Copies of this chain bind each other. A is one copy, B any other.
Amino acid sequence: MATIRDVAELAGVSVATVSRTLQQPERVSPKTRSRVLSAIEQTGYQPNLMAVKFRSGKTHSLVVLVPTVANLFFARVISGMQEAAAQRGYTLLLGNTLGNPQIEADYARMVQTAQADGLIQLRASNPFSPEKSASAGLLPMVNACEVLNTSLCPTVTLDNRLAAATMTRHLLDLGHRRIALIKGPQASPLTQERLAGYQDALQQAGIDFDSSLLFDGDFTLQAGYEAARKILAQPQPPTAVFCENDETAIGAMQAIKEAGLRIPQDMSVAGFDDIAFAAYSDPPLTTIAQPAEEFGHTAVSLLVEVLTGKISKAPKVILPFELIVRHSTGPAPIAGASYLTPAL
């Protein structure tokens, strides 16, 4: 492997000139520049980036803490990040953390051990040690999607509470009065915010909140399926189910259809996220669309600004959402009508 010294010798210049030709070409005369360039060509020189990073103290790498890559919403967010990072000359290091604080802390250490310049956290949790967090100024981090209420770093999120209220109102407008909610993981702020939005809409419509209509989930297909079975086993089942994400909704739909109920005639189902499968479920799912790629873009762009010292306050960016009405939600069945009314 050729080093910078080989190039310098071949070109008959100093190593500094070679370095400059690569880093700040304008500070080298065109003549020497071309001589150096051709020497690089001839030797097949590739700078040892580990040395560059070590010496310059800049890795141009960002670590991304994602609870699980096997989630279509996160996959879209990551695609957005990769695009934005590549544009700015940064490389992404993906950490599949399973939401485990220990694993997160390990990855956060990469920032402190000079393996990465900064970090993007997709979960509401600060992976840095208390000491590090106590240090002055912004943390080299951006918190996106599921955010912490902190001034330690910029955040990118959407108004989950308002979005959930919007969906709940959509259901209320359709005449539903008993609306079940299948929640996400207990510990997630997303779960709580969406629950709050659901309650907001209920309250505004003058409907008493009934906690027996709340069901636990964890954002997986299976959890949706199981929760829906519990819902159907209720003495007085609701006429609509709002699921805190699309996977849950698709799982729930399967249980509902297995029970012989029609969607939306007998039971409306709504999701959240608008993953690709939402448009291809049967029936296509009414959901809340999130600008996933935009989350990624914004997070990377904010992080780079923090790292380059362009911002010193922690902005809180709120991205827009959109209610997507497809065919899984419809008017509430007439009270007292049997679930077994024939389709035609």
- Chain A residues in the interface with B (C-beta under 8 A): 1, 44, 46-51, 53-54, 57, 59, 68-72, 75-76, 78-79, 82, 91-94, 96, 109-110, 112-115, 131, 220-221, 225, 250-251, 253-254, 257, 276-277, 279-282, 284
Cβ-defined partner of A50 (8 Å) among B44, B68, B115, B225: B115
Q: Which residue of B lies closest to A94 (CB)?
A: B94
Given known A-B contacts A79-B68, A280-B251, A46 and B91 have beta carbons under 8 A apart:
no
Question: Which residues on the B side are within 8 Å of A53 (C-beta)?
Answer: 50, 54
User: What is the total number of copies of this protein in its complex?
Assistant: 2
Cα of A53 to Cα of B257 in the assembled complex, Å: 56
Cβ-defined partner of A72 (8 Å) among B48, B59, B72, B115: B72
Indicate if the CB atoms of A54 and B46 lie closer than 8 Å: no
CB distance from A326 to the nearest CB of B (A): 12
Indicate if the CB atoms of B46 and A112 lie closer than 8 Å: yes
Q: Which residue of B lies closest to A115 (CB)?
A: B49
Known: A79-B96, A221-B277, A250-B277. 19 other contacts (CB 8 A): A46-B109, A48-B113, A49-B113, A50-B50, A50-B53, A50-B115, A51-B114, A54-B54, A69-B78, A70-B72, A70-B79, A72-B72, A82-B96, A91-B93, A91-B115, A92-B93, A221-B276, A254-B282, A257-B282
Question: Which residues on the B side are within 8 Å of A115 (C-beta)?
Answer: 49-50, 91
Q: Which residue of B lies closest to A76 (CB)?
A: B70
Question: Which residues on the B side are within 8 Å of A50 (C-beta)?
Answer: 50, 53-54, 57, 59, 113-115
Cα of A70 to Cα of B80 in the assembled complex, Å: 11
CB distance from A293 to the nearest CB of B (A): 10
Indicate if the CB atoms of B59 and A69 lie closer than 8 Å: no
Indicate if the CB atoms of A70 and B75 lie closer than 8 Å: yes
Cα of A219 to Cα of B79 in the assembled complex, Å: 18
Cα of A75 to Cα of B96 in the assembled complex, Å: 10
CB distance from A282 to the nearest CB of B (A): 4
Q: Chain B CB within 10 Å — which of A71, A91, A277, A280 has the most?
A: A280
Cα of A68 to Cα of B110 in the assembled complex, Å: 25
8 contacting pairs across A/B (C-beta < 8 A): A46-B109, A47-B113, A50-B59, A70-B75, A70-B76, A92-B93, A221-B280, A254-B284
CB distance from A53 to the nearest CB of B (A): 5
Question: Which residues on the B side are within 8 Å of A113 (C-beta)?
Answer: 46-50
Q: Chain B CB within 10 Å — which of A46, A68, A91 has the most?
A: A91
Question: Which residues on the B side are within 8 Å of A69 (C-beta)?
Answer: 69, 75, 78-79, 82
Question: Which residues on the B side are within 8 Å of A284 (C-beta)?
Answer: 254
CB distance from A105 to the nearest CB of B (A): 12
Question: Which residues on the B side are within 8 Å of A68 (C-beta)?
Answer: 79
